[in-house]
Structure 1
Amino acid sequence: MKKILLSIMCFCITTLSGCWDQVELPDLAIITAAAIDRLEDGKTRISVQIFIPRTITSGQTGEDPSSASTFVREGIGDNLANAISKLQLNVPRRLFWGQCKLFIFGDELAKNGIRKEIDFLARHPSPRGKSLLYVSKGEARDILTLIPPLERYSGEALRKVSQIENGMITTLKDVDMGLMGESESVSMPYIKKLSQNDKTRKSNQTIPVFEGTAVYKKDKMIGTLNMKETRGLLWLKDEVKRSTISVKPKGEDGKVTMTPTIGKMSFRPKIKENRWMMHLNIAIEGDIVQNETQLNLLNEDVLMKIQGEFEAALKKRVGQTVEKLQKDFKTDVIDFGRKFHQHYPKEWKKVQDHWEEKFPEVEVHITVNAKIRRPGYIGPPAALPRDEVKE
């Protein structure tokens, strides 16, 4: 019996296949970020930032500071698939997309439509659904060639800025689902090269930063929101991470600034007598981080007044963003359509084919409830004589 089992095992071992298609790490070109541009002749250019493992300087410890961390290669074709095929011809190693966390579209491509590019990225097995998408001011390739002072390459700098900054975070999955959703609209972070004022550095020794938000109707970029309007959009999407709100109380020369620590947005769609209404309720709690006025924030009456000022300021900020989306862009990137569809499926069927005409007619009612949790360790303004404090 043992001989029979041993014979079977030996036979099975000879039939097992090995990793015949395995590619060793030294044979891979690891892509960290990609930029896609539309050229004047209508062709597509794909530029990739390829990571270079740094070598150890002989006789020393640590990395060689003179060696670059990445280099940029590109391919040009009739479409993205063809351009990537041409790109592979310019790289001696097999392209590896598993670590590509960023895709940047040039604004010229974004204005002409990105549906074909999104289709390729969504179908291709290598790009991840959580990859971050951006639109650049000018050509996207320029972002990849930047040399950041603190990070090893511009792709890593952009990723970290996205994590800590107040700009939008949009993934490949978000865009794919958004273009197939009720509104067929999406938004992406709009980035640019930070101006370099230090004459001792070259113009490309800087980092990419947020300029605002690119707004898409279907798959074409139709305009941008500035940073102030982007803050309002972040509240509407319930995605505020870090922010400050400053108000100038009536009768005061200075401002009071609060940092929200807790924020929650709720939506309540309502249809009554053929009137489509959306009720937005924003609840925020925050701390006072600066008081430029002469007001004593430990006074309860003063604190209630300041809370009212914050409520009015946030209501105005969000209202301006909603108005621009409804009146100027006529684009529902805040998913009003999906919320009406969920609550009123029968009524939605009547307007879904012309939602871009119905969306601007939706009455938006905004309610804000603000609460100051901590006015700071001191109530009166710092270094202000006691007799000048307004109670």
Structure 2
Amino acid sequence: MSLILWIALTMLISGCWDRNEINDYAFWIGTALDLSESGKLQKSAQVAVPANFKSTKGGGGSEQRANIVLTATGTSIVDLTQQIQDKLPRRVFLGQRRSIFIGEKLAKKGLVDIMDQFTRNTDTRMRTDIFVVNNGEGKDILKINSPFNQFSAIVAVDQDRFCRLGDTALRDVLLDVGRDGIRPSMPMVEISPNSEQEKHEIIEVKSVAIFNKDLQMVGKVSGRESLEMFWVKGVLKDQFLTEETEEGSISLYESNLKRSIRTEFKDNKLKAYVKLEGTGRVLENNTNTDISVTAERTPLERKLNEIKAKKVEATIKKMQLQYGQDVFGIGEEIHKEHPYRWKELRNSWDQIFPTVEVSVNVKLKIQNMGNIGKRIPGIGERT
């Protein structure tokens, strides 16, 4: 009886024989997709090396890398994944992948075939962030030894989140691809120049890649225009802004950013009315306006809103005339408001979008003025 009990207890604590232990997996942190010199597809993987991995408390950028970058060249994503698997003594695991980097050369050729594999592979996380590498290749980003994190694939995700350029995931791109009234866009990363004295390289996110309905990159915008683009699209939540007025410059932190779009058909012309709203906190006031006084603050708000509205209208016009791609989703608003008219427009939206008359109305309200209203007077201003 005691022997039977011992066997039963042994079976209970022995675990499952068909179960994969954590040590059997190779954790795939970042993916890069590029076009080789011969025109073939190239896939690179940033894989964690457990022996060299340290907690983030120790900081990144150690001499001993916590990851390796493996590259394969071929014709299909699946084949390349298998080639990378053949180079590893553990089974690849995509559940921890944080980002995908696409070389600009490949992005301009087109991404339809690549996206097909992502949609079919059940191991793909739809929340994986996706980027285009500005004037470079995706594998170069994976090889960066960042001082902020041991995995550059994670650094890019955090950088995008804090620079507020849309925080675009694979899911967002696929949703835009599946709709007729909007065209996809992706944040662009680049390696910032560094001097010989600097040991580490820095990743910057300050541009946005514009795609057509065939998922071919047709252009890019950067700086202020990229932020305005995402505000009109409805994904920008906050930003820092400095505007020049006749009296001087004023800097604000804008939050609670919202947008609404109304469309109408008038005199056989399609018109779109974009309304942008938000609240502002004054960070720097280099004008003589005392913003604590309503009678002075209100005209300043009106002036700032007029300046911003003109800039946003110029950005929209540039998208219409230079690229002809509706990355804002104006077509989707027409689809909601005029579903029957949209049936007539959907197949020729790329030709119609550049002709749409767009007007912008900005209503940014200054709600926080800091500890003082008027700026500190200079020596010449004192009485």
Deviation digits for residues 234-261 of structure 1 (CA, Å, limit 9, x no counterpart): 21122223312222222x2x31111112
Match of 2:279 in 1: 285
| Counterpart amino acid of residue 174 in structure 2 | D
Given candidates 116, 121, 128, the residue that maps to 2:118 is 121
- Alpha-carbon distance in 1 for matches of 2:276, 2:237: 15
1:261 alignment partner in structure 2:
255
Look up the match of 1:196: 194
CA distance in 1, matches of 2:288, 2:122: 61
Q: Quick one: distance in 1 between partners of 2:184 and 2:68?
A: 31
- Residue of structure 2 in register with 1:352 after alignment: 346
Q: Residue 153 of structure 1 aligns to which amino acid in structure 2?
A: F
Q: Report the AA paired with residue 309 of structure 1.
A: K
Write the letter of the residue equivalent to 2:365.
Answer: K
Match of 1:97 in 2: 94
1:221 to 195, 208, 217: 217
Mapping of residues 30-69 of structure 1, within 5 Å: 30-54=27-51, 66-69=63-66
Contact 1:77 1:83 (C-alpha < 8 Å) held by counterparts: yes
**Against the structure 1 CA distance between its residues 54 and 348, is the aligned structure 2 distance closer, same or farther, given a 3 Å change threshold?**
same
SS at match of 2:92: strand
TM-score norm. by structure 1 comes to 0.88
Q: Is the 8 A contact 2:181 2:326 kept in 1?
A: yes
Q: Given the alignment of the two structures, is residue 132 of structure 1 paired with residue 126 of structure 2, yes or no?
A: no
> Is the counterpart of residue 160 in structure 1 residue 155 in structure 2?
no
1:7 is matched with none
Q: Describe how 1:222-241 pairs up with structure 2 within 5 A.
A: 222-241=218-237
Specify the code of the residue in structure 2 equivalent to 1:182.
Answer: D
Cα offset, 1:355, TM superposition: 0.7
Change (3 A) 1:48 1:381: same
What residue ranges of structure 2 are gaps of 5+ in the alignment?
Answer: 1-7
Q: 1:212 is matched with which residue: 185, 207, 213?
A: 207
> May I ask how many residue pairs the two structures share in their alignment?
366
Amino acid at match of 1:221: M
Paired with 2:321 and 2:194, the residues of 1 have a C-alpha distance of: 36
Give CA deviations for 1:309-363 in whole Å, capped at 9, x if unaligned. Answer: 2202221232122111111110011111111111111111112111101111111
TM-score, reference length from structure 2: 0.89
SS in 2 for 1:126: coil
* Contact 2:325 2:350 (C-alpha < 8 Å) held by counterparts: yes
Q: How does 1:367-382 map to 2 (within 5 A)?
A: 367-382=361-376
Match of 2:177 among 176, 179, 194: 179
- Indicate the residue corresponding to 1:318 in structure 2: 312
| Correspondence for 1:141 | 139
The equivalences for 1:241-256 within 5 A come to 241-250=237-246, 252=247, 254-256=248-250
Alignment match, 2:331? 337
CA distance in 1, matches of 2:182, 2:367: 40
Distance change >3 Å, CA 261–CA 242, structure 1 → 2: closer
Any gaps of 5 or more consecutive residues in structure 1? 1-9
Overall identity of the aligned pairs, in %: 25
Aligned to 1:5: none
Seen in structure 2, the aligned counterparts of structure 1 residues 213 and 63 have a Cα distance that, compared at 3 Å, is: closer
Structure 1 runs (4+) greater than 6 angstroms displaced: none
From the superposition, tell whether residues 25 and 170 of structure 1 become closer, same or farther in structure 2 (CA, over 3 Å).
same
- The one-letter code matched in structure 1 to 2:210 is V
Matched, 1:23 2:36: no
Q: 1: distance between equivalents of 2:18 and 2:263?
A: 54
1:381–1:354 CA distance, 2 compared to 1 (3 A): same
- Superposition deviation, residue 227 in structure 1: 1.4
Evaluate the alpha carbon distance shift between residue 367 and residue 298 of structure 1 in structure 2; reply closer, same or farther with a 3 A threshold: same
Q: Secondary structure of the equivalent of 2:177?
A: helix
After superposition, the C-alpha distances for 1:172-207 in whole angstroms (9 at most, x for unaligned) are 11111211211362000011002113x3234xx212
- Structure 2 vs 1, CA of residues 387 and 139 (structure 1 numbering), >3 Å: closer, same or farther? closer
Query: Residues of 1 paired with 2:107 and 2:52: CA distance?
Result: 38
The alpha-carbon deviation at position 40 of structure 1 amounts to: 2.2
Which SS does the other structure have where 1:306 is aligned? helix
- Equivalent residues of 2:251, 2:283 under 8 A apart: yes
**Distance in 1 between the 2:89 and 2:330 partners?**
49
